[in-house]
Structure 1
């Protein structure tokens, strides 16, 4: 079958190709679509149009074009693999898996299909399966650089940090000029506390890709900028060009805010914070009133009757220590201090509470309403399921910390299933706490933090809920004030250990020497002796923070230090 284009279509094809080469994907797509009616039986063109449709947000059209291409060339594994990729991007995981497996039935040695099945397994949290697919990928094609990188990611997710480092280094070996390999290794070094190596990795990344916004963002978390630093000028140029997408512009603004704050140019820093937060806030819907109503619902469900009905019926295990509070309230610091004790294992931010809740209820109605159906007989099995999940992380530890900040929303449920758990509530000056959230570009969640008024409203709701938990659980929760820890690390550490029933351990004072892998927005700070620079950090910005102060209301005065 002759599918070559007639000569009168050559100009359109050249135009489409030039648009594609220039990165004008929508224009390239439209030009190819004009050609398509006269070349409808050309599977390669259909595949090309499908890829462009997908990249320009038209996934339904992309699937249609690819299905037609596959009908014309049913044994073309690249087309089938591409179809799987589109379904995976749409989170249609089962359909994606069928495509990849179909490609492998036609060609069992197709590296890309093994790789994509690895990505799919990783999305499902099946790290062992993901590793098996990535290993098969590089066995078939040792130069498959992204497979080495994702193998490193899978190892990192399992906390196998040495293997992760080796995989990232292998990626650099097979593709020394690929910025993504250097960036991935820099992230690992950041989390391991190897700060100088992390900075070097970010610098190498930016040598290879000088406009990679996320590398500047990572670097800004790791270093203190000085006047004349070349990165500042480079970031300003990126903003002036206006060529980056919204996420990249957001990341650059947050990075410049940190740089100018380091230089004590606070007005410039705040302007970049406003621009970065405004950009990000425009990407999602958020209604502070819904969070306020959610807190009211939690308080209504988890009332005195709830606690008296379920008291003392859960698992008696004393292993869990819950560390919670607002984001940026010092939860990482407190976990670092405790985890240096010989009898404590720091597990980090765990999803285990939400996991066991979902596994038990298996129904559509949401939290907190689902707690109304909770019976005394339910509690112990749910508590034991949680213990089983965390115990696998540290079989011999006396205590295991879970420092998911948002667990403050679930304290009634947690106290019911684990009545002997320890509860450590991290507090911080409300203005400092909210402003610290506003300064950070959270990768996921924390939707309240990108607007000062919304941050203040959320903080008030959180504070109201914590007052409720103290009333319902008298003596069960210890409050730890961040500013007190900074002023008297040993005194507050002794207080915490005493609360947990632990003897004094001098190692708690050298929390910064921990070898734990840490994922926090204060990467550099938790790897150094006690950091005092975050106390009253809001003051140089006071004239800009009136919306936050007004939203906090009496909390900005009564509970500020």
Structure 2
């Protein structure tokens, strides 16, 4: 075979691989998740030398929950020419999302010192250390990243998450000095730096200044995307209208029930990570987190509507809801290993609760509730990595929380016997009693020491990664009172004051 023939053959293979990617998108549009998976598998088996192609394949695979495919495509992306650090960071990020940071760290350790000491790599390693609760190591890595000329806004943001500025006045002075050079930062970096300043002033007890910077950071995020109130209202009304016991009784029962997860639901900052940490400390529970794998399993329902559910049910699949449960279980196996009980605290499972109740009826459900003002303030003060547009304004937070209360009332009224409600304030005031109730509800045997779950070395990736490393205390109850004078917009939309 001549060189030109080999090149032509390679071009033909690449064309076919691209065709499979487009076909995967078409099948996704029709709700054919399994067909999309097959197309992506064929694209991976064919191969291609184009780096950006593999990045697209990785994103598509992530969208349908195929973690192994997403990682392999990301690995290929990192290995194609030109070999760039940004491509390696993308690959390491995919490993991190799948809980395989150890593979990323091992690869970094094999890199030459110039790569290991690059500020972006130091930043990445700092985040990994912070997730494992090694905050001293994380701070050291962040400081090295700053001194190496890293992206200051992003590193200061990460540093603020694992620091207490009241105990480190010199750190606060250094950040104020850095703030004089942030004028050219883009909106994403600039907003993170504003949140970092907010945290610093909060630690120092200067709440007016803290609120000013939190608001500035949130305003920068709102410039790119805004919360659509009418759209969310219509969505919640449809859930309440459609997912009634009468309508859900028309869905075929699953023939293959699974007990793969303990679902922990609740608004962000309501105590879900604390509950996850306690449950995962039990010997019968292997891990947990914001899993985000139920949505891919529900792709055949075309938008997770009851109408889509009936259409999927009529498609000819002999056991449609057993298939959804089996897909969810298989995706969980990829993420956590086979046949282990896992805590799934994916945000806003309240929007998928009907499908959880029907397709996974053996899975225990725990719903966290907390003082509304404390939740609202904590959501406003935290920079969530996922774009939760409702959290960028106290008024929008009030609107969204009111809708979440409506969903809570709906699911509790009709399916309350399957849902355990945990009040955060009661949990932290009397951990032993709440933990005993959790174990009974989850079908777990008693185990001593779960009230010391903060000593666990497992990875925590949420905004609560620092708090859950501390003993269970009542000190965070009523924190919103410090910001009472600035919370009028929240009370107006949430309570109608």
TM range (shorter): 0.7 to 0.9
Residue of structure 2 equivalent to 1:50: none
Query: Which protein has the larger Cα radius of gyration, Structure 1 or Structure 2?
Result: 1
Residue of structure 2 equivalent to 1:373: 311
How does 1:132-281 map onto structure 2 within 5 Å?
A: 132-133=75-76, 136=79, 145-146=85-86, 148-171=88-111, 173-175=113-115, 177-209=117-149, 212-226=152-166, 229-241=169-181, 242-281=183-222
Residue of structure 2 equivalent to 1:446: 388
Closer, same or farther: CA 256–136 of 1 in aligned 2, 3 Å: closer
Give, in whole Å, the separation in 2 of the partners of 1:103 and 1:291.
41
Residue of structure 1 equivalent to 2:269: 328
RMSD, aligned α-carbons: 3.3
Deviation for aligned residue 1:221:
1.0
Residue of structure 2 equivalent to 1:495: 437
Deviation for aligned residue 1:453:
0.8
Residue of structure 2 equivalent to 1:535: 477
Contact 1:117–1:133 (8 Å) recurs in 2 = no
Contact 1:146–1:171 (8 Å) recurs in 2 = no
Worse overlay, 331-340 or 153-162: 153-162
Worse overlay, 263-272 or 172-181: 172-181
Which of 460, 463, 467 is 2:405 aligned to? 463
Deviation for aligned residue 1:317:
2.4
Give, in whole Å, the separation in 2 of the partners of 1:277 and 1:285.
11
Worse overlay, 508-517 or 269-278: 508-517
Residue of structure 2 equivalent to 1:291: 232
Structure 2: runs of 5 or more not aligned: 1-6, 8-20, 26-38, 63-68
Closer, same or farther: CA 264–401 of 1 in aligned 2, 3 Å: same
Contact 1:513–1:527 (8 Å) recurs in 2 = yes
Closer, same or farther: CA 135–381 of 1 in aligned 2, 3 Å: closer
Deviation for aligned residue 1:370:
1.8
Give, in whole Å, the separation in 2 of the partners of 1:437 and 1:378.
37
Deviation for aligned residue 1:294:
1.0
Cα deviation per residue 1:243-295 (whole Å; 9 max; x = unaligned)? Answer: 22222221111001100110111111111111111121121132222212211
Cα deviation per residue 1:21-63 (whole Å; 9 max; x = unaligned)? Answer: xxxxxxxxxxxxxxxxxxxxxxxxxxxxxxxxxxxxxxxxxxx
Contact 1:186–1:197 (8 Å) recurs in 2 = yes
Q: Which has the higher contact order (CA 8 A, sep 6+)?
A: 2
Contact 2:391–2:397 (8 Å) recurs in 1 = yes
Residue of structure 2 equivalent to 1:64: none
Worse overlay, 400-409 or 458-467: 400-409
TM-score, with normalisation over the residues of structure 2? 0.82
Closer, same or farther: CA 257–533 of 1 in aligned 2, 3 Å: farther
Give, in whole Å, the separation in 1 of the partners of 2:393 and 2:74.
40
How does 1:393-472 map onto structure 2 within 5 Å?
A: 393-397=336-340, 399-472=341-414
Give, in whole Å, the separation in 2 of the partners of 1:319 and 1:228.
44
Residue of structure 2 equivalent to 1:83: none
Which of 246, 251, 259 is 1:310 aligned to? 251
Deviation for aligned residue 1:445:
2.5
Closer, same or farther: CA 514–379 of 1 in aligned 2, 3 Å: same
Residue of structure 1 equivalent to 2:13: none
Contact 2:298–2:304 (8 Å) recurs in 1 = no
Cα deviation per residue 1:363-401 (whole Å; 9 max; x = unaligned)? Answer: 4x663542343549522222222223224423243x322
Contact 1:327–1:405 (8 Å) recurs in 2 = yes
Residue of structure 2 equivalent to 1:383: 325
Q: Is residue 123 from structure 1 mapped to residue 59 from structure 2 by the alignment?
A: yes
Contact 1:168–1:184 (8 Å) recurs in 2 = no
Q: SS where residue 309 of structure 1 aligns?
A: coil
Residue of structure 1 equivalent to 2:14: none
Residue-pair matches, total = 450
